[in-house]
A and B are shown apart, each in its own frame.
Chain A
Amino acid sequence: MDLYSILAHPIRRKILLLLEKEKLIHFTSLLNLLNLDATGRLTFHLKKLGNLIKKDVKAYRLTEQGHLAIKIMKHSQSILSGEDIESIEIRRPSIIRIGILICLCANEIADVLDIDSIKKFVLKLRNVVSVQIFENLCQEKNLKLIETWYNDNFVNKIVIAACSPRTHARIFEDIFTNFLKKDVWKNIEIANIREQCAWVHIFDPITATENAKILIEAAVNRVILKEEIPLGEKIKTQKSVGIIGGGIAGITLALALARAGLEIHLIEKSPSLGGKVARWNSIHDIEECATCILSEKISEVVREKNIKIYTNTTLESISGSVGNFELVLKTHPRYIDPKKCTGCERCIDICPIEKENEYDFGLNKRKVVFIPFAHCYPYAAAINETDIEKCRACRICENVCKNNAINLDETAKEVRIHVGAKIIAIGSELFKKLSFLKHDPDNDIITSFEFERILSSDGPTKGALIKLSDGNLPESISIIQCVNGTNKCSKYCCILAQKYIREIKKRIPDCEINLFYDINRLPRNSIPLHDPLHRATHFIEGLKIEVKGKKKYIIADNRQYESEMIILNVIMIPNASLVNLRQFLDFYPDDDGFMDKRTLASGIYGCGSVTGPMDYQSTISDASKVAIKVISLLSKEYLIPEPYRLKIDPNRCGLCGVCVSECPYNAITLEGNKIHIDQFQCKGCGMCVPVCSTNAIDLITDTTAQLLKTIEVYSKIHRSTKVIAFCCESCGYAAADAAGLKKIQYTPNVLIVKVSCTGQIDSEFILHSFECGFDAVLIVGCHKNSCKFIDGKSKIGKRVELLKEILPELKNKIQVISISAIEGDKFASIVNESCKKIKKVA
């Protein structure tokens, strides 16, 4: 029979193409693939194909002539109908052929487990075609052997029965990348038979072998369910950064980043750069004038060509994603052109309208047209937008300005900039509700920041430490620490007090200084630093201030301390603008209301006291930390995301948005009718998976289907008591591994399921475990506040609590355990105990 008459029949062509795709096909699967019901028909065609195919190990494969025939077939598509060629284009094989590699681990595994019986057992499993045993799988010399085994058996998925994936998953992936290429992710699954069987059940080899069989079977079932992992698109990075906030954090960052070659847009809300540091007298530790340091830094910023400064500017909206954001800025009118203004102050001298000077915290007055402070940038007069109506009615200043810099009819402008990353450094505010301590600057009860202004040489007293009420030197000063509404540590008021004590002693050596810590207000976890040189430190309970005319008394512990000046050392509170920023920047506030850095979306950074109370030194070091992050992000031409960790089926998604609030990293956003995952921000914790009622969202590695299958397979084990333990990858699973490494023996009645975070554990997993016949469920996660994914443990805790409440029969059967990665002995003892408890109940 000539080649063309062989190829004339579509079924025969199909057989050849199928064999090319799948390499090796059994008779029955060939029957299924071709949709034939008569075996006779297939036998006939196989016979007709003659020497193009051959039968090998009960299955058919192409011979060399067969490969040639396919080549000819493809060349002469015109003589064939073509339709069947298109329908079976060369895709990846669809028949799953699993190969199992068992590592003996230099007889560590083989000494305990019965490898022959394991081999016999796994060969009977569905889709398993070959089992290969290696002495030491992790050694590179086996690479060649594995590759030939892989190709000879036409394996397309691999299960490795060896040690813990925590220690060796990366090594195995590296080995297999050589011939699996980019499919390595979806084609490998590891059964941990060393740490979970061989090393922990040394004295019970028979049950250990049984456990190993079940673990391998579960891994086989998991690898079958593994799917392709899509790769994200790459994004071209903008080599520029937007910094919101021109305080010390913003300035330091701008300098560091500009010197690294990035283009910087420095955006400040007020008319001048400087922020809070500009108002301080001196900086602790450096003992140098704060304005001097700041003005030096400002002049450096001004000189740097890569920095563009936008004063009087606010952020209106943000669009785009990491690597390429578009910021819409609104530059509010300054009414005085800073390029024309020389700072001659003629307009200030003539201005008839006065108001409180916010730079000096209202301790004195200023004109409506003003220069913020001596070393401000730009050094030009300005008028606030809120005061402009009064100015438009007066217009005296317009006449005196020689350069015609004043334009009272200026309007706001909109600016659009493109940046690769943005940094929020808007700082914090100061605690203001001070009426309970009778705050009154006119009666010398002042805050620490007002005291800074008094000390400062450009302040209301021109640097003289005098009482504001009568201008005399104070004879006694009291400092009250940690002034706040609730028990929160300010993190800096201890060192601030030390600075004040030294400063006062230097200026008025005879002055009596009392330092008060109110124990009731003292934060629980903080240890006050007190100056060993200063003896008059009082830790008292319930502090009160009494004012009798001009005299002020501090009443504490039934004693009365008279003082001429009282300084309230106030704490920092979150910036009020944070609430507005939340509308377009994704982050969550922490318990104190500051920005929680960990929850920021990718490409957005928080720096300085916007993330929590901070002193000067910490702010500077925080700025350099953030700078390194930004530089490493923007140093690449393109951002290439890692493989997706999460997949969304848009057809099933009902857009309810519950996952949006559940994600601890703000990686999921919902806009109109579209759900979007930020591939850079998603850490793959899987906390969104259980709350999705339609299963539209799922992890790519440990999918819900894989975990449910694992539970089912595990439940097949024959034991009088069966316990399933869901262990989070970073703590629980690591603790189980630690028990293995230390060879701490524990009961073989417990089987371990790895989840990425305990927050991923669905109530269904727990219910399904009981349905499958497990006697107890252990949930092993991290200690409080040490969850890798912020709050996964508390989420599963809530679920378990609810479950116990509504199904009281499960009350004693579910246990949530906190453990750290090194506590192998604790893991073993907990597991043993809970198994014993169940036996007792039974």
Chain B
Amino acid sequence: MKTKILINSFTSCGGCISSIIELEIFPDIFDSVEFVYFPLIKDAIDIEKCDIALIEGYITRKDQIKDMKLIRRNSKKVISVGTCSIFGGISSMVKEIPLKSVNQIIDLDGFIPGCPAPPELLGNSLMAILNGEEIILPENNLCSECGLRPENGLKTKVKIKKLLPDKPPKKCLLLENVLCLGPITRAGCKAKCIESNMPCEGCMGTVSREFTANIINFLASLDVSNDLLTYEGLFFRFSRPDLPT
């Protein structure tokens, strides 16, 4: 019997779901899998009973909460894909709407972070779920994968002056006075941004603690120039802490 899969996206850019289609395993997956609900490739009718539900996006409307609960009731496993669903992501920067991430509404059986989720991690995780195994996420930070990691760590106090490098970096971006969030970000994307001369922005979320707590601890240990600190996107681009109001 084929495994029944449901894929739905809530408020999001749809990037993570699209990257499922771009996976290498995608064409072959049809032999063992049946998509019961996948608005991107076939007409969506009703949320049916399924084995695995993959969901993406942030919850911004009340009817989405209803759908969310319905999906939970009808599926054996619910996996959230992408940063939006678990940490809030870009959509959490909208302050007007009372927002919630998926894991605050229902229990999840696993999550795959990333904005969008890196294809390798997504493919491996999907295969693991289909085989009935647990998703294994890297427990390290990005520096463990980074090619520019300094041999002896950051020996001196790092001064941060800018958000983007002027020229392709030759050594650790932090040592070139560029703010890179690699040290507080979960590994798993193989440092793609840094390979293309961009600092890490922390889309994979953190391994432990909330993102905000981590970034405060991290920035307080550096010497960051004041004009950068006023830039709110630095702190809340992918996550906002839940404080009681």
Contact A763 B216 (CB under 8 A): yes
Q: Does B155 contact A (CB under 8 A)?
A: yes
CB distance from A465 to the nearest CB of B (A): 47
Q: Does A803 contact B (CB under 8 A)?
A: yes
Contact B153 A655 (CB under 8 A): yes
Report the contact-size class of chain B (Cβ under 8 Å from the partner): 35 or more
Question: Restricting to A743-771, which residues have a CB under 8 Å from any CB of B?
Answer: 762-764, 766-767, 770-771
Contact A660 B153 (CB under 8 A): yes
Contact A669 B216 (CB under 8 A): no
Contact B143 A654 (CB under 8 A): yes
What is the chain A residue whose CB lies nearest that of B150?
Answer: A657
Asked whether A764 and B209 contact (CB < 8 A) given A661-B157, A694-B141, the answer is yes
Which chain A residues border B242 with CB–CB below 8 Å? 771
CB distance from B209 to the nearest CB of A (A): 5
Contact A764 B140 (CB under 8 A): no
Which chain B residues border A401 with CB–CB below 8 Å? none
Contact B141 A656 (CB under 8 A): yes
Q: Does B219 contact A (CB under 8 A)?
A: yes
Complex-state Cα separation, A717 to B232, whole angstroms:
35
Contact A656 B153 (CB under 8 A): yes
Which chain A residues border B151 with CB–CB below 8 Å? 670-672
Chain B window 118-162, contacts with chain A (Cβ cutoff 8 Å), 1 for yes, 0 for no: 000000000000000000000111111000011111111110000
Question: Restricting to A633-667, which residues have a CB under 8 Å from any CB of B?
Answer: 651-662
Q: Does A1 contact B (CB under 8 A)?
A: no
Which chain B residues border A762 with CB–CB below 8 Å? 209, 213, 217
Which chain A residues border B208 with CB–CB below 8 Å? 693-695
Contact A693 B153 (CB under 8 A): no
Q: Does B229 contact A (CB under 8 A)?
A: yes
Complex-state Cα separation, A721 to B144, whole angstroms:
44
Segment at the interface with A among B13-21, B22-30, B98-106, B179-187? B179-187
Contact A658 B212 (CB under 8 A): no
Residue in A669, A773, A799, A807 whose beta carbon sits within 8 Å of that of B241 in the complex: A807
Which chain B residues border A661 with CB–CB below 8 Å? 153-158, 221
Contact A658 B153 (CB under 8 A): yes
Contact B221 A658 (CB under 8 A): yes
Q: Does A805 contact B (CB under 8 A)?
A: yes
- In the complex, the number of residue pairs spanning A and B with C-beta atoms less than 8 Å apart equals 135
Residue in B150, B155, B212 whose beta carbon sits within 8 Å of that of A763 in the complex: B212
Question: Restricting to B21-69, which residues have a CB under 8 Å from any CB of A?
Answer: none
Complex-state Cα separation, A594 to B212, whole angstroms:
37
Complex-state Cα separation, A654 to B229, whole angstroms:
26
What is the chain A residue whose CB lies nearest that of B157?
Answer: A661
Chain B window 205-223, contacts with chain A (Cβ cutoff 8 Å), 1 for yes, 0 for no: 0111110111011111100
Contact A802 B143 (CB under 8 A): no
Residue in B141, B152, B243 whose beta carbon sits within 8 Å of that of A654 in the complex: B141
Q: Does A202 contact B (CB under 8 A)?
A: no
Asked whether A802 and B229 contact (CB < 8 A) given A693-B208, A807-B243, the answer is yes
What is the chain A residue whose CB lies nearest that of B232?
Answer: A806
Asked whether A802 and B183 contact (CB < 8 A) given A670-B152, A807-B243, the answer is no
Asked whether A767 and B210 contact (CB < 8 A) given A657-B152, A661-B153, A799-B220, the answer is yes
Complex-state Cα separation, A803 to B208, whole angstroms:
18
What is the chain A residue whose CB lies nearest that of B234?
Answer: A806
Question: Restricting to B160-214, which residues have a CB under 8 Å from any CB of A?
Answer: 182-185, 187, 206-210, 212-214
Q: Does A798 contact B (CB under 8 A)?
A: yes
Chain B window 230-245, contacts with chain A (Cβ cutoff 8 Å), 1 for yes, 0 for no: 0010011000011111
Which chain B residues border A653 with CB–CB below 8 Å? 140, 144
Residue in B149, B150, B183, B244 whose beta carbon sits within 8 Å of that of A693 in the complex: B183
Complex-state Cα separation, A108 to B72, whole angstroms:
56
Q: Does A826 contact B (CB under 8 A)?
A: no
Q: Does A318 contact B (CB under 8 A)?
A: no
Which chain A residues border B229 with CB–CB below 8 Å? 802, 805-806
Contact B144 A655 (CB under 8 A): yes
Q: Does A143 contact B (CB under 8 A)?
A: no
Q: Does A691 contact B (CB under 8 A)?
A: yes
Complex-state Cα separation, A620 to B206, whole angstroms:
53
Which chain A residues border B235 with CB–CB below 8 Å? 806
Q: Does A809 contact B (CB under 8 A)?
A: yes
Asked whether A767 and B213 contact (CB < 8 A) given A654-B142, A655-B143, A809-B243, the answer is yes
Asked whether A669 and B149 contact (CB < 8 A) given A662-B221, A694-B141, the answer is no
Interface centre among A694, A762, A771, A806 (most CB of B within 10 A): A694
What is the chain A residue whose CB lies nearest that of B158?
Answer: A661
Complex-state Cα separation, A655 to B156, whole angstroms:
16
**Chain A to chain B: the 4 pairs with minimum beta-carbon distance, closest first:** A657-B153, A654-B141, A660-B153, A656-B143
Q: Which residues of B contact A (CB under 8 A)?
A: 139-144, 149-158, 182-185, 187, 206-210, 212-214, 216-221, 229, 232, 235-236, 241-245
Return 27 A-B CB contacts under 8 Å, by A number. A654-B142, A656-B149, A656-B182, A658-B154, A661-B153, A661-B156, A661-B158, A669-B153, A670-B153, A693-B141, A693-B217, A694-B208, A695-B207, A762-B213, A764-B210, A767-B210, A771-B244, A795-B221, A799-B217, A799-B220, A803-B216, A806-B212, A806-B229, A806-B232, A806-B236, A807-B243, A810-B243
